[in-house]
Chain A
Amino acid sequence: MSKSLIYVRTYLVRFIIIVGLLSALASWYLVSPQVDTVFNELSIWNMMISTFTLFVGLLTVVSRYVTNITRRGAFWPYQIYALIIIIVWIIMGVTVGIYSDIYQTAFLSTKITLHIAILGQLIFFMVSGAYRVFRMRNLRTALFAICAASVATLNSPWLLGVFPEADKISFWLLNNPAMAGQRALVISGAIGGLFLGFRLLFGLEKGALRVTEA
């Protein structure tokens, strides 16, 4: 790898990360139209880059699929199907618009229905998993099973019908022990993220930003 490329990867990327992070933090802590403008402008840049990467992704997928289809590699019929679907949706979106009646109907009838069906299948695996996993072999597994069973039970209409106070118990559990656990996760995640950021920026995290390839 050339030295100039290493230099760009090492320092320019860090500089961009620092500017992006500082502008986001400054817009959060400072009430300043100028700071907000800078952050909004950077967000727009970020959005445009994300949009560009969408095209890169599309081209990469098409390139890989076409190569595999011509070689009759694994799953090539599915890849033909995927390519046809991609092309049809792009043509429809560009010609009739994504807010047209026909697009809305097509979207609801295909992607959304299938996605909902996939989510609906989860209950089969959840019940089957509950049967196998929530076996109280010791204190830890007992707590695990009791927590899962209480979430399901306290939300169930058959219990709330005969024991309305279950709603209040559920509310208390969510607002206290559950919230404490969630906050612990979020706070520790944020602190971890902060230190990881520092380590990345100071080059202490080996392998990050390809610095160690030098």
Chain B
Amino acid sequence: MKVPELKSQYIWVFIFLLYLVPIFFPVGAPFQMSEITVEIYKYIDKLPPGSIVVIGGSSVFAFDLESSAALIPAIRQMARRGLRVVTAPFSVEAAQFERYAIDAARVDEKYGGPWKYGRDYVLLPYMPGADAAMVSFLTDVRSAVKTDVYGTPLDQLPLMKDFRNYKDIALWVCPHWAFPMVVRYATAERGIPSVYFAQAAAYASYTPYMMMYPGKVWMTNGFLGGAQYEKLEGMRGLGHAAIDTYTLVSAAYLIFIILGNIRMIASLREEEGGS
């Protein structure tokens, strides 16, 4: 049997069609709940109201978007539980990303949510200096940053009156690629528990941290982790939307590897037959 070599363009069109299918016909692909995601959810649920959670780290917005699938429902959960959030961006786009996630969670009073800016959450500006800035921030917040993103001095914000240094942080949530700096300075050196809403590729690299710091470090896995968190929080967002496509494309990925091998075997037989 002659097996044709597929042109790249045909494969691209096929994948494009796979992208379109869930848009018009939502598959509602089932997915397994992860025990770790449930642990994270329960841990945040048990934090006393008023606890300060820092959402921070550093990376590039587009890379971090995958994290927003889990971060947005987590922010909703934090708002519902009466927790308070301070953002700590150590890269330029991290500041924009953290703000985007809080806006997208629709937890501010202007969206009918329970949070009021300054009282329940504060957006800090980009703190340059990478690791040095993070150490400075943990040691003394005011030595790293003096105002919020709007230029308001920190002491004029009610929330920041209760936030001086790392001892006031109940949990560090990292939605950015640069998770090692959070593990090193926040968890390993200062004992702050940390949650990483990891991108699937980063999850593959950083899972050993969960073995190294059991009960202190937790991670979700890409859009799948996002969908799991959305399910726990009772909402459907980016995670659920991505899972349908992910299900179809991951199956296609495997099918094309098999097709490639069938094509190779067929061509070897053709060569043998011809010689």
Q: Which residues from chain A sit less than 8 Å from chain B, CB to CB? A: 36, 39-40, 43-44, 47, 51, 98-99, 104, 107-108, 111-112, 115-116, 118-119, 123-124, 126-128, 130-137, 145, 148-149, 151-153, 155-158, 160-161, 164, 167, 171, 174-175, 178-179, 182
User: With A127-B11, A128-B8, A158-B250 as given contacts, are A44 and B132 in contact (CB-CB < 8 Å)?
Assistant: yes
- CB-nearest residue of chain A to B62: A115
Q: In the docked arrangement, what's the CA distance between A3 and B15, Å?
A: 62
Q: In the docked arrangement, what's the CA distance between A143 and B145, Å?
A: 50
Q: What DSSP secondary structure best describes chain B's contact surface?
A: helix
Residues on the B chain within 8 Å of A160, using CB = 31-32, 224
Q: Check A119–B63 contact: CB distance below 8 A.
A: yes
Q: In the docked arrangement, what's the CA distance between A167 and B37, Å?
A: 13
Q: Check A175–B30 contact: CB distance below 8 A.
A: no
Q: Check A157–B61 contact: CB distance below 8 A.
A: no
Closest CB pairs A-B (n = 9): A115-B62, A156-B250, A43-B132, A99-B149, A157-B31, A160-B32, A131-B256, A135-B264, A161-B30
Interface size counted on chain B using CB atoms at 8 A? 60
Between A and B, 26 residue pairs with Cβ closer than 8 Å are: A43-B130, A98-B95, A99-B95, A99-B149, A112-B96, A116-B65, A123-B249, A124-B11, A124-B12, A127-B15, A127-B256, A128-B8, A131-B256, A131-B259, A135-B260, A135-B264, A149-B253, A149-B257, A152-B254, A153-B250, A157-B29, A158-B29, A158-B250, A161-B30, A175-B211, A179-B207
Residues on the A chain within 8 Å of B200, using CB = 155
Q: In the docked arrangement, what's the CA distance between A69 and B200, Å?
A: 43
Give the Cβ gap from B38 to chain A, nearest Cβ, in Å: 13
Q: Which residues from chain B sit less than 8 Å from chain A, CB to CB? A: 6, 8, 11-12, 15-16, 29-32, 34, 60-63, 65, 92, 95-96, 99-100, 123, 125, 128-133, 135-136, 149-150, 200, 203-205, 207-208, 211, 221-222, 224, 227, 243, 246-247, 249-254, 256-257, 259-261, 263-264
Q: In the docked arrangement, what's the CA distance between A118 and B61, Å?
A: 13
User: With A104-B96, A174-B207, A175-B211 as given contacts, are A148 and B257 in contact (CB-CB < 8 Å)?
Assistant: yes
Residues on the A chain within 8 Å of B129, using CB = 40, 43-44, 47
Give the Cβ gap from B212 to chain A, nearest Cβ, in Å: 10
User: With A44-B129, A44-B132, A157-B32 as given contacts, are A128 and B12 in contact (CB-CB < 8 Å)?
Assistant: yes
Residues on the B chain within 8 Å of A123, using CB = 15, 249
Q: Check B125–A99 contact: CB distance below 8 A.
A: yes
Give the Cβ gap from B84 to chain A, nearest Cβ, in Å: 20
Q: Check A115–B246 contact: CB distance below 8 A.
A: no
Q: Check A157–B247 contact: CB distance below 8 A.
A: yes
- Across the interface, B260 reaches (CB within 8 A) one of A134, A158, A164, A179, namely A134
Residues on the B chain within 8 Å of A148, using CB = 257
Give the Cβ gap from B263 to chain A, nearest Cβ, in Å: 8
Give the Cβ gap from B40 to chain A, nearest Cβ, in Å: 15
- Across the interface, B208 reaches (CB within 8 A) one of A51, A115, A126, A175, namely A175
Q: Check B30–A99 contact: CB distance below 8 A.
A: no
Q: In the docked arrangement, what's the CA distance between A47 and B125, Å?
A: 16
- CB-nearest residue of chain B to A154: B250
Residues on the B chain within 8 Å of A108, using CB = 96, 100
Q: Check A126–B261 contact: CB distance below 8 A.
A: no
Q: In the docked arrangement, what's the CA distance between A130 and B263, Å?
A: 13
Residues on the B chain within 8 Å of A119, using CB = 62-63
- CB-nearest residue of chain B to A174: B207
Residues on the B chain within 8 Å of A167, using CB = 32, 34
Q: Check A115–B60 contact: CB distance below 8 A.
A: yes
- CB-nearest residue of chain B to A171: B207
Q: Check A149–B123 contact: CB distance below 8 A.
A: no
Q: Check A161–B31 contact: CB distance below 8 A.
A: yes
- Across the interface, A155 reaches (CB within 8 A) one of B29, B132, B207, B221, namely B221
